[in-house]
Structure 1
């Protein structure tokens, strides 16, 4: 019964995307919000598959930066295939699949004077070999067509003993976004996908605050067995209430 309800929800989403996939105003006011980057990737891939046409795939060029300690030894220990599989918060993936009319989010400040800032959302209108063109969705530059080039990103992550040099388009699909990335957004309709409880204090408050009215808020909560549920756990630091004195009204 519940699994059938889940299927109907995804079917409804599919119909809406197929109907409005080319509408800037429709996509500007809607998003799916979920806790982790892994969930975001899964949802974005699913939504992209609903669009007509074949995707254009872009692969990054990954090398070790010359400032890395002992780069010759590191190149032997960490081959290119290994570097391609690395993912980092706020950085583009090695493989990016895009289609015309897909919504994307810019991951770097390129040219704030023309609206190309970190977090800017665009609809793709042209996919070339060396440049992507998109229409800015929302904000002061709403409707402006801009070009996005490949850039070189130097990624220094404490988990690895090297600096990664990745040449790629600084974009990511944004049908879905993480709770952290959604901060500052105010939308008409928000779908919250929680395959597990949020993992940090205040995150549930952040996600329900992204929508203008309760009528535009929908939750899909999934329990450990993959079955939709009607409740989730809210993470609260009880220490925050330790020194609060109860109010006692005067007689």
Structure 2
């Protein structure tokens, strides 16, 4: 909680979370479960009424005989899964809170993987939001419900780094991959505006992961 309010001061106060306020701040973490915990904590302190969306899960069983489809995994088991590239089964949001796209929807309109938006209002099947970053900032868009599948393999991609004036880094669990710590620390415009949360046993130190062979 200390890290949350260090990066997002007065988050629970009405009308504090303006577009500029949200554009300038971000918290990074090495693990998805830590991100989920921070998201839950943040939305609980964000002012306003919670709106909840429940996902519709189904198993893809093309390799199963028709008569056996639907029997291999229960809805309860699927709902308990939390693949890293999918939103949670129970998505809780509030008007004015920040959200981020996990897929490319309409790149020409600025709706790309990683686009940050602010929720404007809710409907049954869409969310109206305002784009916060990029050349399409300030545009109002509608985010529909779509069918998503978790990524099954890593693919090459071009890297783009976005910098934030205020960054919090959750390192209670250490980074586990080459370059993670560097990328996290480099996403702020000033070292004076970085807040780092370490585990109780770390004694002001954290682990960095470097593969020398990739530096050659």
- Residues 9, 89 of structure 1: alpha-carbon distance in 2 compared, 3 angstrom cutoff: closer
Counterpart Cα distance in 2 of 1:191 and 1:87: 24
Task: Name the CA distance, whole Å, in 1 between partners of 2:107 and 2:77.
Answer: 34
Which residue in the other structure is 1:221 paired with?
198
Deviation at 1:71, TM superposition (A): 5.6
CA offset at residue 200 of structure 1? 1.6
Residue 195 of structure 1 pairs with residue 195 of structure 2:
no
Residue 235 of structure 1 pairs with residue 216 of structure 2: no
Change in CA separation of 1:8 and 1:61 when aligned onto 2, cut-off 3 Å: closer
CA distance in 2, matches of 1:154, 1:75: 17
User: Helix, strand or coil for the counterpart of 1:210?
Assistant: coil
Report deviation, 1:93: 1.8
TM-score with structure 1 setting the length:
0.74
Say if 2:6 and 2:195, in contact at 8 Å, map to a contact too: no
| Residue among 83, 92, 100 paired with 2:95 | 100
Mapped to 2, the partners of 1:114 and 1:239 lie a distance apart of 39
Higher normalized strand content (fraction of residues): 1
TM-score (norm. length: structure 2): 0.85
RMSD value, Cα: 2.6
* Among 198, 201, 211, the residue aligned to 2:188: 211
| Structure 1 residue 84, shift from structure 2 partner | 1.5
- Structure number with higher helix proportion: 1
Unaligned runs of 5+ in 1: 1-6, 159-181, 244-251
